[in-house]
Amino acid sequence: MNTDLLILVAIVGLGTWAMRALPLRLPFFSGRPGGAMSRFLAATGPAALAALTAASFLPLATPDVAVLGPTLVGSAAVVGGHFATRDMAAAALVGAVAYGITVWLIGV
């Protein structure tokens, strides 16, 4: 195996594991219930999901109708699927199928 690749993977693998595992052991992150750290972490989950959603949709927001059209239809289908089923798997699947069908229709 390429030595540079091995060193890079070792450093990044260990570092990423440390970033995920070590904060769980740090007293810094376990404040009293209702305290500032508790409120910070309680809001982190929804904020992270919002940020990840924004970052994953931004590359799809282009003036090109062949990309934007399926994105709008797929997103609307996710929202509709969520309110119809309250199930994230079903909502995402409905959205992906709607996206694929729209791509197919535009391609035709």
Partner 1 sequence: MPRPSSAPPASFRHGARTSLPITLGYFPVGISFGIAASRAGLSVFEATFVSMAIYAGASQFLALTLLTGGAPVIVSALSVLAMNLRHVLYGPAIMEKAGPGAPIRYSWAWAGWLSDGGFGAAYVGLQRPGARFSERWMFGIGMGPYLAWCSGTAVGALVGTGPIEAWPAVDAALGFLMPALFLAMLLSVLSRVHLPAIAAGLLVSLAGTLTVSATFGIVMGMVAGALVGVAGWGQGRDTDRFDLDGGVH
- List residues near partner 1 by CB under 8 A: 1-2, 4-5, 7-13, 15-17, 19-21, 23-25, 29-30, 33, 36, 38-58, 60, 70-71, 74-75, 78-79, 81-83, 86, 88-89, 91-93, 95-97, 99-101, 103-104, 107
Nearer to partner 1, 36 or 64 (CB): 36
C-alpha closest to that of 77 among 59, 57, 99: 99
Structure tokens of 24?
């769980």
Structure tokens of 29?
């992150």
* Min dist. Cβ of residue 64 to partner 1 (A): 13
Tell me the C-alpha to C-alpha distance, in Å, between residue 4 and each of 1, 7, 10, 58, 69.
Answer: 9, 5, 10, 33, 43
* Min dist. Cβ of residue 63 to partner 1 (A): 15
